[in-house]
Structure formats: structure tokens, C-alpha cells
Amino acid sequence: MPGNKFKYNTLGPASHPKIPNADTLRGKIIISPIGDLDSDLIQRVGREIHRIYGFKTRIAPLIQDVVFAFDSSRNQHCSTPIIEKLAHLAPPKAIKILGITRVDLFIPILTHVYGEAQLGGKACIISTHRLNEGLAMGVWEPFDRRVIKEAIHELGHTFNLRHCQNSACCMHYCRSIKDVDRKSGVLCRYCKVLLEDEIKRLVLATT
């Protein structure tokens, strides 16, 4: 992938990622890249999240790796313990936390997932692993759009949004990469109303 990469593990066990002061995360959505990821892409994801959800974002790598979630029988990583860890590590003042990883994710009832979220909770994760399906090497724009759509989708669940019947809405459930390409990167009017109500509720609960 082009652009600068986030590099970890280069200084041994003492090189924990820098965790920003909790006060600087007040009311922000944390984006937590896990492992090597294109930093330009992460920033684009952040800008789209701000546009859709209205909260500022902060890039803060809170987890160095996801070895703890590896399932050797499936050769994949289980997403659930990862979002639990992200929720645990997120400072209370942060609104939500989104992890982004390149490893292939699963939940036990499915062969793979593009992401998982805590419905109405704090944390979610997406995997870029299967989002380059059908793309030629070096074709980044459709890939970036897919990553952004999945990020918006999983964060939507943390804001209590369920799957939407509207196949153009970003909250539409996607079984395949074609479904991902078909839907838009924005919320339909119905989901927007639900989101606004949820944000009002969240703001009231924290003031």
C-alpha cells in the first residue's frame, strides 16, 4: 500500500503505543489502527467518520497486535475478544472506538466478517483483509471506499443502528463484496433520524 505506514514492534517490548491523555479524547471517536496500515487511508476514514457522525476523530493505536484472538484451527482471528479489549482500553471520555486491522476476522457462526460491533456499545472493528477482492493490484480507490463504508457501518451499530432494508444505505447488511460496492457510504434518512436521537440521548447521559 502507498503512503506512510504505522510501524510497531521495532523497539521490543518497551515500545508501547503512545496513548493520548484522556482529556484530549473527550467527545472524540478513536480510530485505533492495529499493525501496518496506510496512514493516508486511516486519515481519510477519520474525515468521513467526522462528516457522517459529527464527532472529531483521533488516531490512537491502543493495541499492538491481535495474537490473543488467533484461532489456529481456523487460521483466523476472532473479532469479539478484540472489540472487548478495545472497549476496555478506550478512555471513558472517548465516545466510541474503531479498530482497523488487516487480519481476517470471524465470529463462530460465520466463515468471516468484514467487521463486528457492540450494538449500542463503545467498540467496533473492521478488517481490510477481504476488501480488495476482485481489485487489480494498485487499484486503491475502490478499496478505500469499501474500507470507509465498513467503518461507517460498524460505527453505526455502536450508535445503536440496526441493519437497514434500504440497499443503498450504509447500514445495509452485506453478504458479499458486491453488496458493499452497491451500497453508499452514507446513511439513509431513516437511519439519520435514529442516529440523531441516539446522539441526543448520549449527550444527555454525559452532561
Residues of this chain that bind Zn ion (CB under 5 A):
164, 166, 169, 171, 188, 191
CB atoms within 10 A of CB 101: 24
Measured from the CB atom, is 18 or 175 closer to Zn ion? 175
CB of 92 to Zn ion, least distance (A): 25
Complex with Zn ion: residue 42 or 169, whichever CB lies closer: 169
- We find the least distance from the C-beta atom of residue 125 to Zn ion, in angstroms, to be 12
In 38-112, the DSSP E strands lie at 57-59, 70-71, 76-78, 96-101, 105-106
Smallest gap from Cβ 174 to Zn ion, in A, equals: 8
**Contact indicator for 153, 131 with CB cutoff of 8 Å:** no
For 184, half-sphere exposure in the C-beta direction (CA atoms, 13 angstrom radius) is 9
Give me the residue label for grid cell 443502528.
161
Q: 60 vs 125, which CB is nearer to Zn ion?
A: 125
84, 141, 154, 196: which one is catalytic?
154
Strands (E), 80-174: 96-101, 105-106, 115-117, 123-127
* 48 assigned to active site: no
Active site residues: 154
